Amino acid sequence: AGETFTSPSLAAMNAFVKGQEILFLGKREEAIQWFEKALDNDPNLGRAYVSLGTIYSNLQQHDKAQKYYQMAFARIDQMTEREKYRTRGSYYIIKRNYPKAIEEFTALLEKFPADSVGYMNLALAYFFAREMAKAAEVGRHAVELYPKDVTKRYNLVWYLIGAGDLSLIHI
């Protein structure tokens, strides 16, 4: 939900969406198969490479993560402006360059102010950068925009705890 991507292949689009749905359920290995299927149908689907890079980073398989991000960056000129911000921002998060991630996601939200993924990742970048008050502020705004999103609400609790603001934990 909330992902943006570009592909001329309907089969690639379907596989990519299925991969996102499966990943949202926490089934990383199965999601990998769907993203690979998307790439079989469209080897230029840059956001599928980003998804694989992110999964492998989360699995602590950093060489694979780097490989997939490099493949995404090789196709960045084919991405929309929104996809480019998301790609660079998520790459900076996995590389632990939080100031650059904050810069990318801030720019994304300036141009696309309702971007759900942008808010989620901007708050996360602030959290990792140990800027807890900013993480809580962005997380709070994300919950205001998407009040039914359980993940955003869950993350906000952690940001509020980190910021020492326990006044809203009842949300």
Residue 67 or residue 3, greater confidence:
67
The pTM of this model reads: 0.87
| Contact by Cβ (8 Å): 121, 89 | yes
Average pLDDT over residues 150-167: 88
pLDDT > 50? residue 122: yes
d(CA 5, CA 116): 14
Q: What is the pLDDT of residues 78-113, one digit of tens each?
A: 999 999 999 999 999 999 999 999 999 999 999 999
Query: What local confidence, expressed as pLDDT, does residue 171 receive?
Result: 52
Q: Dihedral of CA 121/127/131/134: which sign? A: positive
Say which residue the tokens 């009842």 belong to. 170
| Contact by Cβ (8 Å): 95, 67 | no
Mean of the per-residue pLDDT values of the chain: 92
Q: What is the pLDDT of residues 24-63, one digit of tens each?
A: 888 999 999 999 999 999 999 999 999 999 999 999 999 9
| Contact by Cβ (8 Å): 23, 56 | no
